[in-house]
């Protein structure tokens, strides 16, 4: 392992900022950055070597690759974290505009929905991973929520109740149980978990998360967030009576005033069920 990769890995392990998922993603991004710096010709760097020229070269490369603004901004956040930990905050400009990084594009009419198939499930040997994926697809759960959930506690008959300790941002929420398919998945989850969560009794959350990731990677199951997109688009059709823009339905500008009112109400409902609490974000899932 090269010096820079090793030192950034150690820096991450000494500074456990954020959730397990945040820490893991940060370590992965910094490893990518270290590799790219090596490819750009900076062969003998250590963690303390970071300079403004390195940041400029990295941003130039990412822009040349055509990466979207959101991806570049996420990488910039990790560069700032690195600079802060070595007490060289001024190396990275505090405003992304300095680098010509534009605003995030929140709305796309290209569908990112992903359907969970029986073939996907058949390639998984771990029943807890298999069950977590089914809950993601049935209720639009995030990955962490689908692992941390205690199905027996969450099942309230006509709705699924998520505790604040399971969710992103610590926001508890309810999700309606609308059909027999959801009921079957939830009952199966309760049988598997008993009174507990979808983390086996002999494992901690981070260990089960790693097993989940390994199982999905081995089975060739990618873009799991697409299950939330699929859930949102299904709910949009149920609530409005027509397909979401991202699924080939009419765009917002083509709706009548009465349809726009239905559209806005549907977006707010979906936002609450996904745990976002603002309808603007729903455009990412259903289009505009």
184-233 per-position pLDDT tens digit: 999 999 999 999 999 999 999 989 999 999 999 999 998 888 999 999 99
Residues 146 and 198: beta-carbon distance below 8 Å: yes
Asked whether the predicted pLDDT for residue 178 surpasses 80, the reply is yes
Contacts by 4-13, CB closer than 8 A, 24 or more apart: 4/34, 4/37, 4/38, 4/45, 4/46, 4/47, 4/49, 5/31, 5/34, 5/35, 7/46, 7/47, 8/33, 8/34, 8/47, 8/82, 11/47, 11/82, 11/85, 11/86
pLDDT confidence of residue 106: 59
pLDDT confidence of residue 63: 86
Q: For residue 230, give the 3-state DSSP assignment.
A: helix
CA distance linking residue 54 with residue 44, whole number of Å: 13
Classify residue 38 as left (phi > 0), alpha (psi -120 to 50) or beta. Answer: alpha
Asked whether the predicted pLDDT for residue 268 surpasses 90, the reply is yes
pLDDT confidence of residue 254: 95
The crossing angle, in degrees rounded to 10, of helices 69-85 and 52-64 is 160
Asked whether the predicted pLDDT for residue 102 surpasses 80, the reply is no
CA torsion through residues 273, 275, 281, 286, sign: negative
pTM over the 0.85 mark: no
pLDDT confidence of residue 164: 94
- Beta-carbon contacts of 86 under 8 Å, excluding residues fewer than 6 positions away, are 11, 47, 48, 50
Asked whether the predicted pLDDT for residue 280 surpasses 90, the reply is no
Residues 91 and 50: beta-carbon distance below 8 Å: yes
């Amino acid at each position: 392992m090269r010096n820079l990769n090793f030192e950034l890995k150690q820096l991450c392990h000494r500074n456990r900022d954020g959730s397990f998922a945040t820490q893991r993603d940060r370590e992965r991004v910094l490893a990518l950055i270290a590799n790219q710096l090596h490819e750009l010709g900076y062969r003998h760097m250590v963690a303390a070597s970071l300079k403004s020229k390195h940041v400029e070269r990295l941003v130039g490369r990412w822009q040349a690759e055509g990466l979207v603004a959101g991806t570049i901004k996420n990488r910039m956040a990790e560069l700032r974290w690195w600079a802060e930990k070595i007490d060289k905050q001024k190396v990275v400009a505090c405003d992304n505009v300095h680098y010509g990084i534009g605003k995030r594009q929140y709305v796309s009419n290209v569908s990112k929905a992903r359907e969970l198939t029986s073939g996907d499930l058949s390639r998984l040997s771990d029943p807890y991973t298999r069950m977590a994926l089914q809950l993601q697809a049935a209720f639009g759960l995030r990955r962490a929520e689908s692992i941390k959930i205690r199905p027996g506690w969450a099942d309230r008959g006509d709705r699924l109740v998520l505790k604040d300790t399971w969710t992103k941002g610590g926001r508890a929420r309810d999700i309606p149980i609308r059909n027999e398919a959801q009921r079957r998945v939830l009952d199966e989850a309760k049988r598997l978990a008993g009174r507990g969560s979808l983390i086996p009794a002999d494992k901690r959350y981070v260990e089960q998360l790693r097993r989940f990731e390994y199982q999905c990677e081995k089975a060739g199951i990618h873009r799991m967030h697409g299950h939330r997109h699929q859930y949102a688009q299904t709910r949009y059709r149920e609530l409005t009576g027509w397909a979401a823009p991202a699924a080939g339905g009419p765009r917002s500008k083509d709706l009548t005033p009465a349809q726009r009112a239905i559209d806005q109400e549907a977006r707010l409902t979906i936002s609450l069920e996904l745990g976002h609490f603002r309808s603007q974000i729903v455009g990412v899932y259903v289009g505009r």
